[in-house]
Structure 1
Amino acid sequence: MEIRGVQSVEYNVAQYCFPSNNLSCLREVRTRSETAIMYIFFSALSGCTVFLNLLVIISISHFKQLHTPTNLLILSLAVADFVVGLIVMPIESIRMIENCWYFGVIFCSLFPFIVYIVVSASLGNLVFISIDRFIAVNDPLRYNSKVTMRKTMFCIFLSWFCSIVYAVILLYDHLCNPVVHSSCVGQCTVVSDYAVAMTDLIVTFLSPCMAMISLYVRIFHTARKQIKLITAAASNVCELHSKAMVAKKSEHKAAKTLGVVVLMYLICWIPYYICILTMSTISTSSLTLNIFSWFMYINSCINPVIYAFFYPWFKTSAQHIVSLKILDTSSSFKNLFPENS
């Protein structure tokens, strides 16, 4: 009975992030079992995000058949999601569990900068993916001339470059003085006023999302019309139109798959921005904001799962990667679409 009493007293004693520093912040007091469960959960989520996105990155980079403009955009999106799983998730989980910042002042200034870059780049990639699918479905005959690898690489560069510039503008004060809003040692907080938050909401969320939704509404409207026309004409020239129909269905399936990616992105992001709308001052120390931020981070793990369900090539390439068959010098030329051969 005495041992139990001592344990309960220990959990109620205030603990500090840096016990040797008199200016240290208070550390969150949890039981060992609670801490262990939280670390296991967040570690598993982070590991899963890294592993799945690494499969996408290796697949598209290794297999020659996957070197297409659309897959190049998916690769860029996977890189952003990979960084979220490798850097953002582990650090955010430690900060959320311990309520302490153990990574120093320099990384305190850089970490929000990294988060803003990968988040903005993800959204930029999704916008370009929407444009790519819109051209593929609405103007298929001129798609190859309009959408080239060089143009796609420029769009990816533009997306990342604009994300970096935007992050510098938005976080300039924090980059110069990262501890200005810290009340004690062991705290890393970014504070934005309502006007900045609304600007961010419009620039990085509402405008791109409205554009994506508009594009996908037009894509699916066009897809319906095209399928009806192909079905009506198929009875006259069966073989020719059956091939055309297979090609069209492939394009429509790709548009549908990437439409699901965009939809899940919106579902994961909307709670975060609803939370921002209810706050007069936006601070990363807010528990509610941190919880909704995790919805955005989890989205980085969902995207590869969507590819696994909808793309047969992802399953095939993942099997070759896991089984180390890609070590074969000729594996990069493997046909991942045997049904189209």
Structure 2
Amino acid sequence: MDNTDYRQNITVQYCFPDNNASCRKEVHGGPGFIFVFIFLSCISVCTVFLNLLVIISISHFKQLHTPTNLLILSLSVADLLVGLIVMPVNILQLIDSCWYYGKIACIIFPLFCYLSVLASVFSLVLIAVDRYIAVCDPLLYTSRVTNCKMSMCIILGWSSCLLYDVILYYYNDHLIPTQLYETCHGECLLVIQHSWVIFDLVVSFVMPCSVIVILYAFIFNVARNQAKTIRAISDGASQKRRTEISGSSHTKAAKKLGTIIFVYLACWIPYYISSLCVESMTSSSMVWTVFTFVLYMNSALNPLLYSVFYSWFRVSVKYIVTCKIFESSSSRFNLALCLTVQ
């Protein structure tokens, strides 16, 4: 009975019926796969929509042209590419095992996929560095961190990610991380060797994660010391009020930093744990598919963590949805003033 149900859910066809060298494709049906398809498609759409709102907001409103927001813009661009290109291609391959995009796309797609994810991680690291400087050296922050310097850092970071990706994928004879196989027309099979997984684990996860956790630990410690200083210099009737304010802000900062670190680790750890448990992984395996999408979900959660919870984002979204951004003076609108009025 189980075998009969399985055959009913999987129909063997050909990717290119007119080509004798065509691969066979497996079209997965049934309620389970339909639910997975709808669920993953919704994640992809939400990823594109949320990151697009962030990009439009920061790009349009001149008040939001700050070094920190430039980093959030860089993060949103990387996450937008994940939701717009990487996720849909992987969803289609999950439902239909064929590769319809040709040999060149088969070579370029892994490069593009990894560049998007790596650029997203790099932006997260830069955001942690930016917040560390802002909290630990607030008086000199505006002079040390400018829009021009931040733009150069972002360009340099993306270029470094691209160079790292190209060298490791195509030009390093001593460290060949992946192999692309095409045994028939319509197949693009990516095999990742165990040695590459270990190296990538260190470069793409351990190092960035260590930097983010250490910097946010310093930020948390500095914020706590600042709260103690405020309580120490407070006296009289204002002491209780200032203590309540500092304690509230301290709690909010701790929750935000804890959420950022937890989400980052939750999205990345499953992929690398599963990768280390086998000698090699292929892009056709279900383990690869599941944990890769868990990793990609970080791109959908990033705009929620870094933008949606910010008050300026809510105001800017209101202007975007109501099409008021098309007004001639909307780019110079004072979002802080609008928040005060509301």
TM-score bucket (shorter structure): 0.7 to 0.9
Q: Superposition pairs for residues 133-172 of structure 1, below 5 Å?
A: 133-172=131-170
In the superposition, the TM-score normalised over structure 1's length comes to 0.86
Query: Helix, strand or coil for the counterpart of 2:75?
Result: helix
Q: Is the 8 A contact 2:227 2:250 kept in 1?
A: no
Question: In structure 2, what residue type is equivalent to 1:41?
Answer: F
Query: Helix, strand or coil for the counterpart of 2:130?
Result: helix
Q: Superposition pairs for residues 78-117 of structure 1, below 5 Å?
A: 78-117=76-115
Q: Tell me by how many angstroms 1:63 deviates.
A: 0.9
Unaligned runs of 5+ in 1: 1-6
Q: Tell me by how many angstroms 1:192 deviates.
A: 2.6
Counterpart Cα distance in 2 of 1:55 and 1:251: 29
Counterpart Cα distance in 2 of 1:14 and 1:274: 33
Counterpart Cα distance in 2 of 1:104 and 1:79: 26
Query: Helix, strand or coil for the counterpart of 2:185?
Result: coil
Query: Helix, strand or coil for the counterpart of 1:332?
Result: helix
Q: Tell me by how many angstroms 1:336 deviates.
A: 1.7
Instruction: Show CA shifts across 1:89-124 (max 9, x none).
Output: 111100011111111111111111111111111111
Match of 1:204 in 2: 204
Q: Would the alpha carbon gap of residues 306 and 179 (structure 1) be closer, same or farther in structure 2, given more than 3 Å must change?
A: closer
Q: Is the 8 A contact 1:197 1:282 kept in 2?
A: no
Q: Tell me by how many angstroms 1:283 deviates.
A: 2.2
Counterpart Cα distance in 2 of 1:31 and 1:62: 44
Question: In structure 1, what residue type is equivalent to 2:188?
Answer: C
Question: In structure 2, what residue type is equivalent to 1:279?
Answer: V
Q: Is the 8 A contact 2:260 2:305 kept in 1?
A: yes
Match of 1:218 in 2: 218
Q: Tell me by how many angstroms 1:227 deviates.
A: 1.4
Question: In structure 1, what residue type is equivalent to 2:228?
Answer: K
Match of 1:4 in 2: none
Query: Helix, strand or coil for the counterpart of 1:28?
Result: strand
Q: Is the 8 A contact 1:137 1:252 kept in 2?
A: no
Moved more, 108-117 or 186-195: 186-195
Q: Tell me by how many angstroms 1:287 deviates.
A: 1.6
CA root-mean-square deviation: 3.1
Unaligned runs of 5+ in 2: 173-177
Q: Tell me by how many angstroms 1:332 deviates.
A: 1.3
Counterpart Cα distance in 2 of 1:44 and 1:203: 31
Question: In structure 2, what residue type is equivalent to 1:145?
Answer: S
Q: Tell me by how many angstroms 1:308 deviates.
A: 5.5
Instruction: Show CA shifts across 1:290-324 (max 9, x none).
Output: 11000111111112223455211111111110110
1:50 to 48, 51, 60: 48
Counterpart Cα distance in 2 of 1:304 and 1:126: 11
Q: Tell me by how many angstroms 1:233 deviates.
A: 2.2
Q: Would the alpha carbon gap of residues 258 and 141 (structure 1) be closer, same or farther in structure 2, given more than 3 Å must change?
A: same
Identity of aligned residues (%): 47
Question: In structure 1, what residue type is equivalent to 2:203?
Answer: V
Are 1:67 and 2:90 an aligned pair? Answer: no
Counterpart Cα distance in 2 of 1:289 and 1:40: 19
Counterpart Cα distance in 2 of 1:197 and 1:9: 35
Moved more, 102-111 or 71-80: 102-111
Q: Tell me by how many angstroms 1:13 deviates.
A: 5.1
Q: Tell me by how many angstroms 1:15 deviates.
A: 1.6
In the superposition, the TM-score normalised over structure 2's length comes to 0.86
Match of 2:284 in 1: 285
